[in-house]
Amino acid sequence: MAHLVISEEVRAALQDGRPVVALESTIIAHGMPFPRNIQTALLVEQTVRDAGAVPATCAILQGKLKAGLSEDEIEMLGKAGLHVPKASRRDLPYLVSQGKNGATTVAATMIVAHMAGIRIFATGGIGGVHRGAASTMDVSADLQELARTPVAVVSAGAKRILDLGLTLEYLETYGVPVLGYQTDEFPGFYSRHSGFGVDCRLDTPKEMADLLKVKWEMGLQGGVVIANPVPEQYQLDDVLLEKTILQALEEANQLGIRGKNITPFLLAKVESLTHGESLHTNIQLVLNNARLAAAIAVAF
């Protein structure tokens, strides 16, 4: 396919019918500080391998959509950090036509994965409807991508800085199933709790794989959110977390931070206010999602 480069390892796995898990690169360039970003990205890839699947970290490099990065390419993205543009669906034509680099969001990673023929994708948390969206209209492109692109996204819910209730309403409107893995409650990213339910609970990777197969066999377009709560020992205190998020949101409002810059700002601010605890939780939930995604890919 024009503009798409699939690594030899990922291509061989796909041709042989072996399980492959897509991974995003925004978490490398924008989601964590150097050098933890590189260390975590490589650890996530190893976690996927240990669980029996092949990792395919996605990005835009020198104007090419890439599924499967080398260790050197991951290190380059991690060192460049915020200098690498954050790439969603709308950014792809520009970055590709201009021969530039880009770190793929959930939406862009779904696009690259779908082009490559990868059905399962592990991330930290999906984007969604931002708090105050009634006046700002700030809604992540991740949600529209989930409505149109047939890739299952394993996440620890939506990022807690968002309006989780409205995010779930949006997904319902566009027919995106929200499945709870061994949980009846939609997880709140840093926390196992949100106060909101999931559409249905499934307790094994095979049940998840069976649902995905049936959905796509019936010709129902779009993806699926597989909500996988952070392990209990790593979750943050709900009351302290909400207080921290409100403080971060107030500071972002005072500074006039908007659009694609708001999420990395808020995540960094929450990390600062929790003295690094949120970063540790973030790493653990990503690893947890990678393990589950690999198990689902094996079953699928």
**Which amino acids are annotated catalytic?**
24, 159
What is the rounded distance in angstroms from the CA atom of residue 51 to the CA atom of residue 73?
23
Alpha carbon separation from 1 to 65, 66, 119, 238 (Å, rounded): 10, 11, 17, 46
C-beta of residue 179 within 8 angstroms of C-beta of residue 200: yes
Residues in the chain, overall count:
300
Closest CA to 159 of 227, 80, 250: 227
C-beta of residue 126 within 8 angstroms of C-beta of residue 289: no
What is the rounded distance in angstroms from the CA atom of residue 244 to the CA atom of residue 266?
10
Closest CA to 77 of 126, 123, 34: 34
What is the rounded distance in angstroms from the CA atom of residue 177 to the CA atom of residue 190?
22
Tokens 């949006």 — which residue? Answer: 170
Using CA atoms of 287, 266, 72, 40 in order, give the dihedral in degrees to the nearest 10: -20
Alpha carbon separation from 134 to 147, 165, 174, 246, 266 (Å, rounded): 21, 13, 18, 17, 19
